[in-house]
Structure 1
Amino acid sequence: MNVEEALKAAMSEHVADVRAPAMMGQAVRRRHRSHVLRSRTAGAAMLTVVVAGAIPGLTALYPDPAPAGGLNGPATARSESAAPATDKSELAHPAATTCSYRMDTTGTAVKKVGMPPSKPDLKAKTMTIATNHGTIVIRLATAQAPCTVNSFAFLAKKNFFDNTRCHRLATPEATGLGMLQCGDPLAKGDGKSKDDGTGGPGYVFDDENLGGIPYTRGTVAMAQGGEDANSNGSQFWISFSDDNTQLASQGSAYTPFGVVLKGMNVVDKIAKGGFIPFKGDPMADVRGEGSNAPKIPVIIKNVTVSH
């Protein structure tokens, strides 16, 4: 049984059926800003324990998650030392060798830089996000999400993310989820713009690696509407809470493509600063009407993907 099969089996056997509608992404707002509800659940961090105890093979590819506790936990999500040894069998069997990207025909605001190549770079190992608060280094799941990683490598080379703002901060207290969302090239991140979270690169692509990495603290995943599978663009979120594991119990389609190796202290600093309620109404974020922006402005200076 490979890593992905083992994880799915463990999730099916051990994770309770916690109902929690999915996270807001580009497609949520562009489709008439349909309502997106979120609920808090006790025991949402249970998957962390299940994965650590039931699937030893998983830790060969991804670092161990930090103890649950959200903002009260340690500053780092995963080990910030050298990356763990890679499972060679996983790299030998990538999820795809050819990628398909298609035009985004929804009419949303875009920053066009072209289309990624159909042949993914299977050697990409890390993605480094330089922000105005410090650097975040992400270990990429290239073998499991090659087309996602390929898209980020392409956009990074095009300087797509340079000088963009992270537009959304979701906290467990307000929405039942803990994540910092970025990747909208046109976002203002001020808690006032109704269009924040609608921007993209002008193309979309299919989901990958669903169930391959739990949505625990430190996981990095793609953002899209809860009912809009296979509509990935450029937006992504970084989890700073194990509360996000509830998303997996309902089969939410958010492609996990990496884990933070270094820089969770940067994310924690931003999270602790709190959020600006969208137009003064924190529940507007829950309803999918706008984004609760981080009070501490987050500017991505540069993104690089390296081997």
Structure 2
Amino acid sequence: MASSRDRQRKLARAKLDRQMARRAAAARRQRRIRAGVGAAVALALIVLGSVWALGGFDRKPPADTAADVCDWTPVRADTNPNVKDVGEPPTKDLPTSGSRPMTITTNQGAPVTVQLDLATAPCAGASFSYLAGKSFFDNTKCHEITTEGAVRCGDPGGTGQGGPSYSFPSENTPSAPTPEPSPSASSAPAQPPLYPAGTVALVGNPPGSNGSQFLIFFKDFNPTSPQYPIVGKVTAGLDVVQRIGGLETVDNGTGAKVKPKTDVVIQSLTVGEPATATPTPAAPPPATTSPTPSNPPSTAAKS
């Protein structure tokens, strides 16, 4: 009987030892898991802290690869009741070289064609193209023949105060002429006018705040303080502009006798696609002529 009880005790002891061993192994596994999780969390905190310290969580606007070419300033109707709301032209991906053709058809004869210079006045070219696409100039009047020798157009209301719902700064205003030297024995050549006949320029109200109004000069103008930015030149129809410039004028309501007595109506104004400047081909090298050979000696057999 004693041996049977001893055997049972030994079996129970062995079973308890096995249970204790399994429990110890499980405890060791849990400690290892907790240690691994703690290390992973600590490492994650270190990484996140480093990223935060370096500004990795700062919200950044998406990179914009295209730079603004033009800056349009909104003009609200509550500050100028003569403004016509047409939105604003695009600011990016605008041509900055070459030219655009502009055609002005009036009730005074053949169309007047203009070459807009995109290299010196890209924003003016973009503005004309944008407004022409919205028929902004169609069926409007050229409301003034200026004392400076230009026809003034581009205000839908014909008051000189109107324009689109945006403005933009001047781009290509000529520099003031240099003072003439004192008379001498050898006279200096005359300087060309700042605004030769056929020049197309913007007129801002106030100056430097340009919209849709423009001037077409029908005679040379050479001011001491130029303020009109040049946007292009007439390529055909200058005679039509000069004929308009010779029309009789009447009081425009302000005491200035500058309004054409005969209505000058822009029936349509269109702007074509940009044209890139074509490089002038290099002149071919001059042809080389071979020297004329002297008479060769006679090869006839002597008799």
Question: Per the shorter chain, which TM-score range?
Answer: 0.5 to 0.7
Question: What whole-Å deviation, never above 9, does each CA across 1:116-165 have from its counterpart, x for those lacking one?
Answer: 11122345421111111231100111110000110000000011001001
Structure 2 SS opposite 1:265: helix
- Indicate yes or no: 2:182 matched with 1:205: no
How big is the shift at 1:306? 1.2
Alignment match of 1:256 (pick from 226, 230, 233): 230
**Contact (CA 8 Å) 1:101, 1:204: kept in 2 or not?**
yes
- Indicate yes or no: 2:212 matched with 1:234: yes
Distance 2:209 2:121 in 1: 15
Alignment match of 2:112 (pick from 136, 150, 155): 136
Unpaired stretches in structure 1, ≥5 consecutive residues: 1-95, 188-195, 286-290
**Contact (CA 8 Å) 1:108, 1:200: kept in 2 or not?**
no
Q: Aligned runs of 1:163-178 on 2, under 5 Å?
A: 163-170=139-146, 175=147, 177-178=148-149
How big is the shift at 1:268? 1.5
Pair 113,186 (structure 1): closer, same or farther in 2 beyond 3 Å: same
1:215 partner amino acid: Y
- Indicate yes or no: 2:134 matched with 1:158: yes
How big is the shift at 1:229? 3.7
**Contact (CA 8 Å) 1:206, 1:229: kept in 2 or not?**
no
Structure 2 SS opposite 1:245: coil
Tell me how many residue pairs correspond in the alignment. Answer: 185
**Contact (CA 8 Å) 2:115, 2:235: kept in 1 or not?**
yes
Report which of the two structures shows the higher radius of gyration computed on alpha carbons. Answer: 2
- Indicate yes or no: 2:100 matched with 1:125: yes
How big is the shift at 1:263? 0.8
Tell me which residue corresponds to 2:239.
Answer: 265
Structure with greater contact order relative to length (CA < 8 Å, sep ≥ 6)? 1
Distance 2:145 2:242 in 1: 11
**Contact (CA 8 Å) 1:179, 1:240: kept in 2 or not?**
yes
Q: Aligned runs of 1:1-307 on 2, under 5 Å?
A: 98-105=69-76, 106-119=79-92, 120-122=94-96, 124-133=99-108, 134-170=110-146, 175=147, 177-187=148-158, 196-211=159-174, 214-225=194-205, 228-242=206-220, 244-246=221-223, 249-250=224-225, 252-279=226-253, 284-285=255-256, 292-307=258-273
How big is the shift at 1:271? 1.6
Pair 218,97 (structure 1): closer, same or farther in 2 beyond 3 Å: farther
Distance 1:272 1:115 in 2: 36
Distance 2:199 2:155 in 1: 19
When normalised by structure 1's length, the TM-score is 0.56
Distance 1:121 1:139 in 2: 14
Structure 1 residue ranges, 4+ long, deviating more than 6 angstroms after superposition:
none
2:222 partner amino acid: T
Structure 2 SS opposite 1:147: helix
2:105 partner amino acid: A
